Amino acid sequence: MLHFIKKLYYGDIPDASSGAAPLNDKQQPATDWPLWEVFIRSKQGLDHKHVGSLHATDAQMAIENARDVYTRRQEGVSIWVVESKYITASNPAEAGELYEPAADKVYRHPTFYDLPDEVKHM
């Protein structure tokens, strides 16, 4: 794998035996809790904004974890969480059909119209 990326950069640690002990019998494999997307309102009057994701067993734990992970420095006054599986995203491959129709409609923008300077603010 990655045979052609051999140059090592900072934080990129070479694949050599780390000398780690093998997993012992007590070692339980991790099992993931559901993934949640986190949205935070930074102050009253602003939208909730996507900040990242985390794992939690249920919605209440997701909010508590989001508080710890994403608002340690008063970044938020309100948190939304939604299980990631419920988010439907548009397909980047369909970006053309979805967004290009708006590209040739310059008349939708106020700057399209030449008005005399006397109009001032409009």
Residues that bind another protein (CB under 8 A): 1-2, 4-24, 26-33, 35, 51-55, 57-58, 61, 68-69, 72-73, 89, 91-93
**Paired residues of 55 in beta bridges:** 35
Q: Which is nearer to another protein, 44 or 91 (CB)?
A: 91
Q: Which is nearer to another protein, 32 or 118 (CB)?
A: 32
Q: How far is the CB of 108 from another protein (least distance, A)?
A: 24
Q: How far apart are CA 17 and CA 9, in angstroms?
A: 18
CA 77 to chain centre: 19
Q: How far is the CB of 66 from another protein (least distance, A)?
A: 10
CA angle, 42 then 43 then 45, to 5°: 125
Q: How far apart are CA 63 and CA 38, in angstroms?
A: 8
- CA distances in angstroms from 49 to 37, 40, 61, listed in the order given: 11, 5, 20
Q: Which is nearer to another protein, 97 or 113 (CB)?
A: 97
Q: Which is nearer to another protein, 41 or 53 (CB)?
A: 53
What amino acid is encoded at 29 in this protein? P
Q: How far is the CB of 16 from another protein (least distance, A)?
A: 5
